[in-house]
Every structure is written in C-alpha cells, then in structure tokens.
Amino acid sequence: MKARVIKSCLAYLYGSGAINEIGTFCNDELSLTGKAILISDPTVWTIAGKQISENLMHAGFEKVESVFVKGAWKSEVDMIREKIRALGATVVFGIGGGVNMDVAKAAASEENINIITVPTIFATEAQTMALAVFRDGYRPNIRPILGCVVDTDIIKQAPWRFQAAGYSDFMGKTSGIADWELACSRKKEFTQNFSGIFGYELAKLQLRLLHKYAVAVKNKEEKAFDLFLQVFMIDGEINQLCKPGWNWGTEHAVARGLEDCVDVLHGEAVGISTILMTCWQGGDWKNVKKTLETVGAKVTAKQLGVSDDKIINALTDATSWVKQRPNYYTILHEKPLTDKTAQFLAEMTEVI
Ligand SMILES: [Zn+2]
C-alpha cells in the first residue's frame, strides 16, 4: 500500500465543566502558553468564549484576543492571519460550530501555529478532523489538532437540532458502507488498495450502537450521551483509516443538492439522503428512518423546509455527479435515477 498520512488529535479534555480547566490543560498537558486568539461569534462568546478567555489569562497566558467570524470564507482566514502576525500568537482556539473551527484551523495552519478546538455543538466532525471546508473552494492543508476540549455540560445545553443533525450525518454510513460493499463485489480497481478492514468494522459497530442507544441519547442519559459524543470524537481518525472508502457514499452526493439551502444543516441533508439511498440500495431504510425519528431528526422534505422538486433534482443531479468521480462506485452507477424513478423513490419513503 502507498504511504499516506493519518492525522490524529493529540489530546482531549473531556467531561463536565471542562472549559473551566482549559488553562491547566494547555499548560500541563500541551506545554502551551504565550498569546492566544479565540475565534467565536457573539452567541458562542456568551456561552463559552468569555469564560475560556478568563481561564486562559488566569493560567498565565500573556494576552488573549477575541475575534468574531462571519462565515467559512478565505477572506475571514486572511483577516485572522493578519491578527495572528500582529499579536505574535502561539495558538488559535476555534470555539463553537464547524465554521468557527474551520476558520481557526485554516488560519493557524497557514501561520504554522497550534490549534485547539472547543466544540459547543456536535453537528459535524470538525472538532478533530484535519480538514476545513470553505464555500469559495479554498482548501488549505490543515495541521493536526493539538487539543480538543469537550465540555459535556455545554453540549447538553445546545439546541437539540444540532445533535440530531450530527446523528443523521453518522447514519450516512449505512448507505456509504453499502456502496463500498457494492464496489468491492464488482472488484473495482480502486478497492484493491483498501486497507481499512479495521475501520470498516468499527463503522459498522458505530452504527449498531447508535441504533441501539437512540432513545437513551435523545433522553440525554449520561452513559449513552457519552457514547454518542465519543463516537463522534474519534470518527475523524476512523474515516482516515478507511480511505478511500465507505466514509462517503451516494447519500453525501445527494445531500450536496440539499445543503445549499440557507437553513439546512449538513447532517440534516445527509439523514434524509440516507433514507432515500438505503431504500434505493434495497437496504433497511425503515430502520434508518425509525432511528432518525427517535432522535428527533428531520425525515421529510417539509421538515427540512425544501420543495419536493428540490429533492427530485438532488437525486438526479447526484447520479451525474458520482459518474464524474472515478474513485467511487455506487448504487447510482448501476441504477441511475431519472425524474420518474426519483419521484417514485421519494414518495415511497415518504420523504415527499
Ligand atoms: Zn457528512
């Protein structure tokens, strides 16, 4: 197998009240001190940013500067880079959701300084993945995350919509795995380099656990909620172990056509796409739908706030999109969706 890089997060601080120990964590575990830039937004600043700033100052950081970002744009990264240089910062903290963390990761990586992530919601794997997604196509190489601070009190208080979306994104592995199995059974050339039996089995285990504990997670029962968060925390590494492979299936191709709407979260689009594609694959889509409903995730076009036509277009566009990707082989290569079959599929699953 060709050599490749697998990036991991070096250390986690996890549990109740974690942000009150962030300064000690930086000093004692990461040997971090000096000057810090905290990236957040007005809401996140109130929830966690201010407290983190005070804690770091108390732990002996020379200076802590706070910056609010407006979106995942390269211009925002450039603005932070200037601040890093002006301050002589040694570390950037990305606090909040995917956008704040992605901007922090990109700016810190471009300036070769350390990155700490502090998720306040769990809707994507942004907190530990050495990857940042920008709407303008900017794709910087991201350094490994030095530390990730998960304060379970803060996450539990976050609007449930975000956790449900994160859960839905995970369910995407159902159709992702099925697509991968299909590609292997057809002996596609790119599957010969597959080295991820371990990751593949772990992914199936993740899915089993998430189905089993859906009710307990929704009720925020401590052990089940910990399970959900910890599964999420290590997911970035699992995905890398399996590359290229099942961590991306047709559900993500379909979701592309839904998540460009203003008020649709990535995971929400993936959840609905997973119901559709699992059905198209002949899998147990009813079980996927049941689990998503159990955790309070969105399962219809109406709940997602998109028109029926949008769903049909996402399905047919995904068919042409996957065919342009030579390193993937999916159900849509064998059973392309037309307007007519897409309509049938969406109605059958009661997505529309
Ligand atoms: Zn995803």
177 vs 48, higher pLDDT: 48
- Please give the pLDDT value at position 244: 55
User: How much is the pLDDT for 192?
Assistant: 62
Question: What is the structure's pLDDT at 124?
Answer: 75
pLDDT at 264: 93
For the stretch 312-326, pLDDT in tens is: 999 999 999 998 887
Is the pLDDT score of 187 beyond 90? no
* Mean pLDDT value across residues 155-171: 92
Distance 98 CA to ligand 1 centre (A): 12
Distance 240 CA to ligand 1 centre (A): 14
Work out the mean pLDDT of the chain and round it to a whole number: 91
Q: Does residue 247 have a pLDDT over 70?
A: no
- Angle of the 173-185 helix axis to the 160-171 helix axis, nearest 10: 10
Among the listed residues 294, 265, 289, the one whose alpha carbon sits nearest the alpha carbon of residue 277: 289
pLDDT confidence of residue 260: 82
Cα(255) to ligand 1 centroid in Å equals 9
Ligand 1 centroid to residue 166 C-alpha, Å: 8
CA atoms within 13 A on the CB side of 185: 9
Tokens of 146: 């030095």
Choose between 343 and 326: higher pLDDT.
343
What's the CA-to-centroid distance between 123 and ligand 1, angstroms?
A: 9
CA of 36 to the centre of ligand 1 (A): 30
pLDDT at position 196 is: 67
In the prediction, which pLDDT does 104 show?
97
How far is the centre of ligand 1, averaged over its atoms, from the C-alpha of 143 (Å)? 20
Banded pLDDT at 343 (limits 50, 70, 90)? very high
Tell me, in angstroms, the distance from the centre of ligand 1 to residue 34's CA: 35
Give me the pLDDT at residue 221, please: 94
Give the pLDDT of residue 30: 96
Residue 132 C-alpha to ligand 1 middle, in angstroms? 13
| Mean predicted confidence (pLDDT) in 337-345 | 97
What is the tens place of the pLDDT at every residue in 113-160? 999 999 999 877 788 888 888 878 899 999 999 999 999 999 999 999
| pLDDT tens digits along 255-275 | 999 988 878 998 999 999 999
Confidence of residue 246 (pLDDT cuts 50, 70, 90): low
What is the distance in A from the centroid of ligand 1 to the CA of 252? 6
Question: Per mean pLDDT, which range of 66-75, 147-156, 243-252, 301-310 is the poorest?
Answer: 243-252
Ligand 1 center–CA 282 separation, angstroms: 22
CA distance 319 to 328: 12
**How many angstroms is it from 268 CA to the middle of ligand 1?**
9
Give residue 42's pLDDT. Answer: 96
* Total-model pTM: 0.88
pLDDT at residue 245 greater than cutoff 60? no
Measured distance CA(200)–CA(234) in Å, rounded: 14
pLDDT score, position 201: 84
Domains and CATH numbers, the chain: 11-157 (3.40.50.1970), 160-348 (1.20.1090.10)
Is 3 buried (19+), middle (13-18) or exposed (0-12) by CB count in 10 A?
A: exposed
Backbone φ and ψ for 68, nearest 5 degrees, come out as -95, 135
* pLDDT given at position 277: 98
